[in-house]
With several copies, the nearest count.
Chain A
Amino acid sequence: MLIKICPDMFDPWQEVQSYQQNTLTALTGKIGATSVFVGTMRDFNEGDQVKGMTLEHYPGMTERQLAKIVAQAQSQWQILDALIVHRVGAILPDEAIVLVAVWSSHRGEAFDASRNIMEALKSKAPFWKKELLDSDQERWVSKNTDGYTTC
């Protein structure tokens, strides 16, 4: 299990590939399913054009809460391994904000666990987004929405 807080731009697909190839070698032949979620910065939010963002976090508490979230998911589903990467600092549209990857023997568990980790991260991991609008006005994002309701 690896949790990374990343002040620089990262390529989520390369992170998954490299973690799987270099770290999960003991799981060769055991992995049947990998579920990956990537959150990316959009250039619009709540009707406004957004040209940049700053991600603040609470160092220490962030890692602690993410580790608890993964441990909770591990107690609920049969997970072989998990990787979380989250960006902090200044970020531009189209850059990756968050990566959650879960490896399992079975697909149901991989899907359930990755979504659960993502929702828990959204509601509990101490990160805060401040948007820079096209008008140069800055504003804090006030709250996250629930990702289980899609209507």
Chain B
Amino acid sequence: MIMSIKVRYFASLKDRVGCAEQAIHSSGLSTVRSIWHAANPDKKLPDNILAAVNMDYVDLDSPVNDGDEVAFFPPVTGG
């Protein structure tokens, strides 16, 4: 099955990846980690990265579903 996933990057990770948002259409996507690798085949998953699915924090091994919004970002520094 082909899944469509919206991938978003923030802050220094956005600079590193070179874009803020990508749409991924692919089969074989099962976890947040696999989304990273499909979207960034040439880049190692950075240490200390945080991930969210549909705006809730998740582990990198959490499942994703068709239509999800997956976000990757560095440690937050607000406040």
A72 in contact (CB, < 8 A)? no
A contacts with B: majority SS: mixed
Quick check: B76 and A126 within 8 Å, CB to CB?
A: yes
Name B79's contact: one of A65, A127, A130, A140 (CB within 8 Å).
Answer: A127
Quick check: B79 and A128 within 8 Å, CB to CB?
A: no
A27 in contact (CB, < 8 A)? no
Interface residues in A63-108 by Cβ distance below 8 A to B read 64-65, 86, 97-98, 107
B56 in contact (CB, < 8 A)? yes
> Closest approach, in angstroms, between the C-beta of B11 and any C-beta of chain A?
4
A130 to B10, CA, bound (A): 12
B18 CB contacts on chain A under 8 angstroms: none
Contact A127 B55, CB 8 Å, known A56-B11, A58-B71: no
Contact A128 B55, CB 8 Å, known A140-B11, A140-B12: no
Q: Which residue of A lies closest to B75 (CB)?
A: A143
A55 in contact (CB, < 8 A)? yes
A122 CB contacts on chain B under 8 angstroms: 76, 78-79
Name A86's contact: one of B8, B10, B78 (CB within 8 Å).
Answer: B78
Interface residues in A117-145 by Cβ distance below 8 A to B read 118, 121-130, 140-144
Q: Which residue of A lies closest to B55 (CB)?
A: A61
A118 to B78, CA, bound (A): 10
A58 to B51, CA, bound (A): 12
A124 to B57, CA, bound (A): 9
Instruction: Give me the 3 closest cross-chain CB pairs, A-B, nearest first.
Output: A127-B78, A128-B11, A61-B55
Instruction: Give 7 CB contacts A-B under 8 Å.
Output: A55-B78, A58-B10, A118-B79, A128-B73, A128-B74, A128-B77, A144-B79
Chain B contact residues, CB within 8 Å of chain A = 8, 10-12, 15, 52, 55-57, 71, 73-79
